[in-house]
Amino acid sequence: MFCPTLTGLGERAHLLTREVNLSTHIADVVGLLEAEELNDVVLVGHSYGGMVITGVAARAKKRLRQLVYLDSAVIEDGECWSSAHAPEIQAERRRLARESSGGLSLPVPNAEVFGLSDPKDLEWVQRRMTPHPFAPYDETMHWGGAVGNGVPKLYVDCTVPLYAGLNPVKARYRGKPGWPFFELKTGHDAMVSAPAETAQLLLQFT
């Protein structure tokens, strides 16, 4: 099992520049697959990571067996991350990026927005978050075809509580052919709030 840290985030936060975008993060994961000579991979993308795994499937389909969109953003060919948000959310995110870092990054949010309630979980997540590169927000992506590039895919919908920012994405794909939905009755950060249940679900596809 591998859990790569994307450029400019976490322990790689020192690599953040204005050039770090979604294409950078796709290259991070493709590079891991190639360097570790991984095949028959179940690739999981959480939140923003849903767009990353879509890009990986577009570039490295032969190495993948299954895509799992874990309460994540999904965009189509020719769209960008901001396409998934209403105009007022786009404006707010651009304001936050501009005021916090001159447009370099999105500031760290309050961990409570991810549906966490346990004080220990909240404190643990809060102290580990780092600002998110802003360049991916408006980068138009070209997958060269349908989302997933023919790799089997599924969506894990975290429902208690719902993360409102993903409601338009879920409404767009729920019930659509080729998009089976699985429900987890936990919050957006399922791997924190319900680790056993999340692992059990994912292990069905290993």
pLDDT tens digits, one per residue of 31-49: 999 999 999 999 999 999 9
Q: Say if 3 falls within a structural domain.
A: no
Task: Please tell me the total count of domains within the chain.
Answer: 1
Q: Say if 5 falls within a structural domain.
A: no
89: containing domain: 10-203
Whether 186 contacts 158, CB under 8 Å: yes
CA-to-CA distance for 84 and 193, rounded, in angstroms? Answer: 25
pLDDT value at residue 205: 81
Q: Say if 141 falls within a structural domain.
A: yes
pLDDT value at residue 160: 96
Query: Which residue among 47, 72, 105, 193 is the active-site one?
Result: 47
Q: Say if 146 falls within a structural domain.
A: yes
Cis peptide before 131, with omega less than 30 degrees from 0? no
CA-to-CA distance for 146 and 77, rounded, in angstroms? Answer: 7
193 is catalytic: no
User: What's the half-sphere exposure (Cβ side, CA atoms, 13 Å) at 30?
Assistant: 16
The CATH number given to whatever domain includes residue 168 is: 3.40.50.1820
pLDDT, tens digit, 9 for 90 and up, residues 90-112: 999 999 999 999 999 999 999 99
Q: Say if 1 falls within a structural domain.
A: no
Statement: residue 174 has pLDDT above 90: yes
Q: Say if 2 falls within a structural domain.
A: no
Q: Say if 4 falls within a structural domain.
A: no
Q: Say if 150 falls within a structural domain.
A: yes
